[in-house]
Structure 1
Amino acid sequence: MNNTLLNPDALEAGAKALLFEDCGDYSRWDLMDEAGQQIFTEYARAAASAYLAVAQPVVNSVEELEALPVGSVIADLYDDRGDAPVVLCKALNQDWAALTTGTQNGRPWWTSEEIAQVARRLRVLHRPEVGA
């Protein structure tokens, strides 16, 4: 089961775009029954999830965090405890600067090890081009 959080409005827009690619007519969306709309929505979900898996991968280990280049931005979108750094940017010293933090800690700097211990699921939001 794919548990990537996706915006329902964006999914519907993607489904309508797929329908247009298929038949060249957006107006057919309103003529479809709910089951037909759901099929196109699931196609859009699959395409968006596949894109995000590459463009914004999930990192699960200290090694994956340390392998990210300086300037990378990560987010723990699933922090429901309020104790994890929510959005962080990798600094030149290889530590992570907290751009926003959970309510309990509020610390400005985190190591990869500390992040891996408290974060539930980190997604890479930005990865600068290396050598560009």
Structure 2
Amino acid sequence: MTTLDPRGLEAAAEVLCRQIMGPRSNMGNVGIQNATRFRDEARAILDAYLDVAQPTVTTVEELEGLEEGTVIELLDGTTRIRTGWSSGWASAAAGDDHPDDAHIPARVIWRPHESP
């Protein structure tokens, strides 16, 4: 759901390249095929990280199970925060919202119990 910033993806691919090929290597010195492979592998690693750090909820039950204060990002890029109100969700732009199919899938981007 969360799209990877191309600059971050390139930086991750370069680190992966250096880890595999040695500290003096860079993306400019490897062949196109290897550069593409490193980008694909970096994307897979970052996607795996995001799946754990910012999971996607796909059911209303999962959505309702999120604790108060949790922030989700919808497919259209808007965010909602879990409230203690009866409506359940609020947005600065759109007022209160009830959890329904319009909110899923959604990426969990912040949870209160994980804050420093």
Answer whether TM exceeds 0.5 for this pair: yes
Give the TM-score taking structure 1 as reference length: 0.75
Q: Say yes or no: does 1:121 pair with 2:105.
A: yes
Q: Say yes or no: does 1:62 pair with 2:46.
A: no
Structure 2, unpaired ranges of 5+: none
Q: How does 1:69-88 map to 2 (within 5 A)?
A: 69-76=67-74, 78-79=75-76, 86-88=78-80
In structure 1, distance between residues paired with 2:98 and 2:51:
24
Identity, % of aligned pairs? 33
**Paired residues of 2:71 and 2:109 also in contact (CA < 8 A):** yes
Q: How does 1:41-52 map to 2 (within 5 A)?
A: 41-52=39-50
Structure 1, unpaired ranges of 5+: 80-84, 101-105
Count of aligned positions: 114
Match of 2:23 in 1: 25
Give the TM-score taking structure 2 as reference length: 0.84
CA RMSD, Structure 1 to Structure 2 (Å): 2.3
**Paired residues of 2:57 and 2:108 also in contact (CA < 8 A):** yes
Match of 1:103 in 2: none
Give the match's secondary structure for 1:129. Answer: helix
Poorly superposed stretches of 4+, deviation over 4 Å: none
1:91 Cα offset (Å): 1.2
